[in-house]
Structure 1
């Protein structure tokens, strides 16, 4: 059975966590039957030796790579070193952190937050990548982010994009994969996050919260991304 480290880079807001649990539990449910162990990103020195793992997932966060802290650079370096041996998957903040570690700038998206259920389009490389095996070219996904990676890191391959954030997924070498969206979210979690962030969304654009909430639907195909990633791990 594969052993996966889920690195928690933050927690859901208190009201969301009280009703739905926290990020680590959401990943654990979709990575089963992999054995999931959890670690907090800060301090990065507390992270285990990657040699005892089969894969690493980096969660989303309320923190921002546009406001760097020492633990972010430390974790980014640790992830690149781990990826020399085992698969690493970054999700939302994790996607942005990997982009930053690989040499690309992360910025506040000038188009504003992307929230609710949205569509991304797989590129030819994305359609051929095992991460998206069996999934349609146009894929409904759950979104909750204000920052984005505006360009590919050097040496990376674009796997998915959309008009709001052009780099929705990328691959770098054989073991690094990153997605801007949230395969671990279901409709209820996305709705709870949108409700919790209603003021933030409407401050970005009046009416955005209602627009995001009205868009929400289940995305079972996107949830399969984690099963696809798990299937490629050693010990599977």
Structure 2
């Protein structure tokens, strides 16, 4: 039977949940740490295990375990509830519009995975791109470990590949993989760049970073804000 909000909350200790994202230290009955929602040097972020709430006395953000996940992961309440339910090993069922929104996110994850495979395939085909990495001291094992890829020159290589795979290019645009031009044609966001996939804490690919060759600008280009990616919440290699 799917879990309800109260059961999910009772199985999601806020110290454990917050502690997975923030380094906490015991201070009296509470835990404190540096706030993940604003820059600070002195800890003003407090977690109360008795009330199962958190509060930052620097920026004012606060709430329960659902609020924390919503804010930290940039999720809606149903998405946060599903995230916590899955973490606690509970069943959770979405309804109506919430299910449709979740479906779009899952489609974007799948689309990103497809794009990542194509980028890796392009790296395997283009010697110049591999030489660029080898000349900078990267070995094959490192390239494989971080799933590096290559976005070739040209305006619509990835767009053409996705279209050939019968993928929805409007969804690819929402995923930050392509842009739609004035003529309604789609063109690639990443062109002639080494590609670094960016993962979330569940190892799903949520976006990409692209490093330009030579003096091309901008030197580094990241996926923009999407339904599954927020640059303020993720660092490359670190959830």
Q: Same fold (TM over 0.5)?
A: no
Band of TM-score, shorter chain: under 0.3
TM-score normalised per structure 1 = 0.25
Q: Which has the higher strand share?
A: 1
Structure with max Cα Rg: 2
User: Which one has more relative contact order, counting CA pairs under 8 Å at least 6 apart?
Assistant: 1
